[in-house]
Amino acid sequence: MRPPRKKTPEQLARGNIVEKIRYIKKREEIRVKAVIHRATHPGEDTKRTRRWRTENPLAAAALRALERARKRNATGRYTAREFRALCDESSWQCSYCATVLDIVTVQADHIIPLSRGGSNGIENIAVSCASCNCRKHNTPLPLWLSRTGRTAFGPNLLSNIQSSQ
Ligand SMILES: [Zn+2]
């Protein structure tokens, strides 16, 4: 059998582009199918989705935050990895009451609330417990701190307190 003819660099490059286009088309096709499926099956939360959510609580929360941010046309998109790094940096303690949290109980607080034009980027996120996050809600941080007599600590907070005053 004859060995296959060696391809010129131009042919190789063209081959790569063809492959890439094929890949993008396929990816688009899958995406469109998924959109149609979701549109025609409203409210259906597949077993796989539910399992993914339970297994990846940080990523699921980041996704929910992104949805809320999009509705408010907020910029920024923090990732689960960034949030986990922030939690590590904060020793998994609530930035407002120092409660020790875990992957299930931790929440991402938007320091400047999305409803007040805050970004969804990691620089606007603080590690929070559910209670503080819920109580703070959309109160500007300096006001909430002065009302509750608390001090905020942890990464992102000092610069944000200063910039929002
Ligand atoms: Zn707290």
Does pLDDT of 158 surpass 90?
no
Angle made by CA atoms 110, 133, 55, in degrees to the nearest 5? 85
Query: Helix, strand, or coil here: 4?
Result: coil
| Dist. CA 63 → ligand 1 center (Å) | 22
Angle made by CA atoms 63, 86, 84, in degrees to the nearest 5? 50
- Is the CB of residue 156 less than 8 Å from the CB of residue 108? no
- Is the CB of residue 56 less than 8 Å from the CB of residue 80? yes
Buried b (16+ CB within 10 A) or exposed e, 18-34: eeeeeeeeeeeeeeeee
Tens digits of residue pLDDT in 25-54: 999 999 999 899 888 887 777 778 888 999
| Dist. CA 163 → ligand 1 center (Å) | 22
Phi, psi of 111 (to 5 degrees): -55, -55
AA identity, residue 16: N
CATH number of 57-164: 1.10.30.50
pLDDT of residue 165: 46
| Dist. CA 29 → ligand 1 center (Å) | 44
Give the whole-angstrom CA distance, residue 112 versus residue 125. 8
Least confident of 36-40, 90-94, 108-112: 36-40
pLDDT of residue 100: 97
Residues in a beta bridge with 100: 93
pLDDT of residue 153: 84
Tens digits of residue pLDDT in 58-90: 999 999 999 999 999 999 999 999 999 999 999
| Dist. CA 2 → ligand 1 center (Å) | 72
- Is the CB of residue 160 less than 8 Å from the CB of residue 124? yes
